[in-house]
Amino acid sequence: MGLTSNKVLALVVLLAVLLFIGTVWWWPRLARRTWWSVSGRVGLLLATQVLLFASVGLSVNQAFGFYASWADLMGQERGEGVVVDHNGASGPGGGPLQVVDTEQVMVSGGARAGTGGQIQKIDIVGRTTGIATPAYVYLPPEYFQPQYRTRTFPAVTVLTGYPGTARALIKALHFPQTANRLVREGRTQPMILVMLRPTVAPPRDTECVDIPGGPRTESFFAKDLPEAVADHYRVGRTPRSWGVIGDSTGGYCALKLAVHHPGVYAAGAGLSPYYKAPIDRTTGDLFRGDKALRNSADLRWYLRNKPAPDTSLLVTSSRVGESNYRATLDFIDLVKSKGLTRISSIILDSGGHNFNTWRREIPATLQWISGRLSDR
């Protein structure tokens, strides 16, 4: 059973409850001062504590999507490798994008694609970068309705934080469900959502950088991903057809992609983003001594020293609870001074760096990005 399985969580909780009851039941019999009784008391208390912490840990992991599997938890993730500069790369079936599974959207009428839309699990192999990664695609109900059969749709790349899982965008952040509801309420247009994590070379955190001699992550998101999706689905091919949203690390990547590639992404929204690629044990050496690459990964440096990109940006923070509040205000002021780049913000009174905060920001974010995208 997988790390994120509800069965695993239920089993551990059940064992913790049974062991607690057993401890209460057996305690009088272990009240003596013999070595056997003392060892029994210590063993019961230790086992109860272990199961209690395991229950809490599994619950937190399911809520926040920190680790996708046991191997991911143990730092032994070996899936989805990266082939550098493997031109002409293709998926198992010969194309860069392969659908491997489908599921319904958990909304009213979700049993039928024409009323609830559909979520497709896909595998993508970048034609130019060779990067291989799984993702989820949400197709709105209109995609399957006869009156829209010749229509193209705007698309939004949606990115998790690090080391988050793409599944969390569906189960914890409810992107498909929220997008479906907003269209029904007439607040947004139907959009295709391409949901994945920015960690395309797990377990390394590549920060959407084209690492010299390493994974060309920025190129994957700026070129390979939009091309593969547009070749497979009815997606518009102009810059006005694509937007990008992300939280935390994904928020930094979303802003970076919109700033660096305005000819691809017409809008980028960063939920609780930061504005400069960090260097730590999870990233390794991202720049290999390339000063220009390091400067380019600092969005504030880029906006001060490069021509203003023709794109729209959205940033979010909280006055209490977010460490990026002051940096976000400074970033807003900087972008406002660059005439061609447009900036918007969502500033909450309070909210931490977590899923609950982002769920409060997602409806307004989807409405904002919908207003800046076109289906053709």
The model's pLDDT over 312-332, given as tens digits with 9 standing for 90+, comes to: 999 999 999 999 999 999 999
Q: What's the confidence (pLDDT) of residue 164?
A: 87
Contact predicate 346/314, CB 8 Å: yes
Q: Report DSSP state, residue 175.
A: H
Question: What are residue 244's phi and psi, to 5 degrees?
Answer: -145, 135
Chain segment 144-193, per-residue pLDDT in tens: 999 999 999 999 999 999 988 999 999 999 999 999 999 999 999 999 99
E strands, 69-203, where? 97-104, 118-125, 132-139, 155-159, 192-196
Chain segment 228-282, per-residue pLDDT in tens: 999 999 998 887 999 999 999 999 999 999 999 999 999 999 999 999 999 888 8
Contact predicate 355/173, CB 8 Å: yes
Nearest residue to 237 via CA among 192, 190, 176, 175: 192
- Lowest-confidence pick of 60-69, 129-138, 307-316, 353-362: 60-69
Q: What's the confidence (pLDDT) of residue 171?
A: 92
Where do we find the tokens 């997008």?
179
pLDDT-derived band at 220 (thresholds 50, 70, 90) equals: very high
User: For the whole prediction, is pTM greater than 0.95?
Assistant: no
Question: Helices in 83-123 by DSSP H: which ranges?
Answer: 113-116
Q: What's the confidence (pLDDT) of residue 86?
A: 28
Q: What's the confidence (pLDDT) of residue 84?
A: 28
Share of the chain above pLDDT 90, in %: 63
pLDDT-derived band at 53 (thresholds 50, 70, 90) equals: confident
**pLDDT at residue 81 tops 60:** no
**List of residues 6+ apart from 352 with CB closer than 8 A:** 318, 321, 322
Rounded Cα–Cα distance for residues 80 and 58 (Å) = 24
**List of residues 6+ apart from 25 with CB closer than 8 A:** none
The residue ranking higher by pLDDT, 19 or 296, is 296
Report the pLDDT averaged over residues 117-130: 95
- Lowest-confidence pick of 1-15, 39-53, 270-284, 361-375: 1-15
Chain segment 91-107, per-residue pLDDT in tens: 444 578 999 999 999 88
Q: What's the confidence (pLDDT) of residue 69?
A: 59
Q: What's the confidence (pLDDT) of residue 80?
A: 35
**List of residues 6+ apart from 362 with CB closer than 8 A:** 173, 174, 175, 178, 271
The residue ranking higher by pLDDT, 211 or 338, is 211
